[in-house]
A = this chain, B = another copy of it.
């Protein structure tokens, strides 16, 4: 489906800014609002930060993009929606990697006890260290021994 129709079908007006934001989100796996401002500017010349925030909020609301917010990081946006995948986040470099749900298709939406809440999303973040950061820590430790 063309981006144009995608927006129409979700009941939002089609504008150059929105198309650019949508393409910016698609262009890389996990980007910040700031990334999107830059990417969209590259594409259409100029766009205000406010428009990007407004557009992202609209998209999130309409289910066109998904927002994730790891502790200590600005919000990230991705266009992979509806498949309930999760994220691996590196504590050192902040890198985010997609990972499929370990329990299967969507069961993690069920909490053990919902306390009367009406749950619509389960966000799972695995925290740790990515291969590169593991390696560089080892190197640093080794070089410390040379003091």
- Please report A residues at the B interface, Cβ cutoff 8 Å: 67-72, 75, 86, 88, 90-91, 97, 99-103, 108-131, 134
Contacts and interface: CB of A to CB of B under 8 A. Distances in A.
A115 to B, nearest CB: 5
Nearest to A75: B71
B120 A127 contact: yes
A46 B91 CA distance: 33
Contacts of A120: 91, 127-129
A108 B99 CA distance: 13
A129 B118 contact: yes
Contact of A115 (B68, B99, B101): B99
Given A102-B112, A117-B129, A122-B126, 14 more contacts: A69-B70, A69-B72, A71-B123, A88-B119, A99-B112, A108-B108, A109-B126, A117-B131, A118-B128, A119-B126, A121-B126, A123-B124, A123-B126, A124-B124
11 contacts: A69-B70, A71-B75, A86-B111, A88-B114, A99-B111, A101-B112, A102-B110, A102-B112, A115-B131, A116-B130, A122-B126
A108 B129 CA distance: 17
